[in-house]
């Protein structure tokens, strides 16, 4: 049954809060809009609803660029202008800090970046037909996609080539990342490795790791403000790399101005901050739990000639 709802505060995950006979999490709305929505699921403390029609649209409402938007679960905000997206995400951050962290503090101006084709990393699901895509929201059904407007153009070229042939049976997921090389990690079971390697090599992927299998080291490298930053497929790194470089530069400048004797870097990854700030202090102690990221960090310190960073593989907690 549909009902008219007013959208108020943005929530994490692309939802917007509404209150009508209880708390409703609206999908597809923008704060300030009046919409007609259908309740899709009732929970004990709230309900989920999907917008069916917009009666009073927000000035930030735009036409989604991707034809799969709404079907594919990969994006939440394509119906919102980029400026509106930034406002919504800032409001979500303020709410989380206040509600969970009990912190109320001024937030610096948001750093903007290119809204399209910025991601250097993508984890595709594989359909029964062997085509790449993403899960439908709240489902394990794969929505096949011909183009993704968030990933960079080199990854879209790989997507196009793989979907022209399809992946062999047994491959469930494919993680691809771009840098100086395009590399991948394959997830699945009961596939024929040689057949998978043939398809991936034909698509332009130059290095492949198969999950739960050993083998030689495979990494792609990125420019981290004049330093090498190399990542094994499957290890975390900031996929919006140009924005990451700007944030790293800001943090590095702040550290240089403080000139501390020692810096501790928690959740250090492969050295995203430890590498550049090593030049501004006598010692960096970096803590990282992931075995993949820890291995990348040791490699990155070696190729950058850095000897004043002490890495500890351990949970921060």
pLDDT digits (tens, 9 = 90+) for 157-211: 999 999 999 999 999 999 999 999 999 999 999 999 999 999 999 999 999 999 8
Phi, psi of 310 (to 5 degrees): -100, 115
| Confidence at residue 215, expressed as pLDDT on a 0 to 100 scale | 67
Long-range residue pairs from 288-293, CB within 8 A, at least 24 positions apart, any chain: 288/312, 288/313, 288/314, 289/313, 289/314, 289/315, 289/316, 290/235, 290/236, 292/232, 292/234, 292/235, 293/235, 293/236, 293/268, 293/269
The kind and range of the H/E element at 244 are helix 241-258
pLDDT in tens, 263-281: 999 999 999 999 999 999 9
Asked: is 2-99 a CATH 1.10.1740.10 domain? The reply is no
pLDDT of 213 higher than 80: no
Asked: is 121-210 a CATH 1.10.357.140 domain? The reply is no
The predicted model gives 302-311 an average pLDDT of 98
Residues spanned by CATH 2.40.50.140 within the chain?
2-99
Domain 220-313 belongs to what topology? Rossmann fold (3.40.50)
Residues spanned by CATH 2.40.50.1070 within the chain?
121-210
């Amino acid at each position: 049954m549909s009902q008219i709802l007013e959208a108020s505060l943005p929530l994490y995950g692309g939802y917007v809060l509404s209150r009508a006979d209880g708390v409703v999490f609206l999908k597809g709305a923008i704060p300030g809009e009046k919409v007609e929505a259908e309740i899709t699921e009732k929970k004990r403390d709230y309900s989920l609803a999907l917008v069916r029609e917009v009666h009073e649209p927000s000035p930030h409402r735009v036409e989604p660029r991707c034809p799969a938007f709404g079907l594919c679960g990969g994006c939440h905000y394509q119906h919102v202008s980029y400026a509106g997206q930034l406002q919504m995400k800032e409001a979500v951050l303020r709410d989380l800090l206040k509600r969970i962290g009990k912190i109320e503090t001024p937030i610096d101006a948001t750093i903007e970046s290119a809204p399209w084709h910025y991601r250097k990393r993508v984890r595709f699901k594989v359909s029964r037909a062997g085509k790449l895509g993403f899960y439908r929201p709240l489902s394990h059904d794969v929505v096949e996609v011909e183009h993704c407007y968030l990933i960079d153009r080199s990854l879209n070229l790989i997507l196009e080539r793989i979907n022209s042939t399809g992946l062999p049976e047994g491959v469930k997921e494919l993680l691809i990342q771009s840098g100086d090389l395009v590399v991948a990690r394959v997830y699945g079971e009961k596939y024929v490795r040689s057949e998978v390697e043939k398809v991936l090599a034909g698509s332009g992927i130059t290095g492949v790791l198969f999950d739960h299998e050993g083998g030689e080291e495979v990494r792609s490298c990125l420019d981290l403000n004049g330093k090498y930053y190399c990542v094994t497929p499957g290890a975390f790194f900031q996929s919006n790399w140009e924005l990451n470089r700007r944030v790293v530069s800001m943090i590095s400048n702040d550290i240089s101005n403080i000139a501390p004797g020692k810096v501790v870097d928690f959740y250090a990854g492969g050295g995203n901050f430890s590498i550049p700030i090593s030049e501004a202090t006598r010692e960096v102690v970096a803590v990282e739990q992931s075995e993949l990221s820890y291995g990348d960090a040791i490699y990155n310190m070696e190729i950058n000639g850095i000897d004043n960073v002490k890495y500890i593989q351990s949970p921060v907690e």
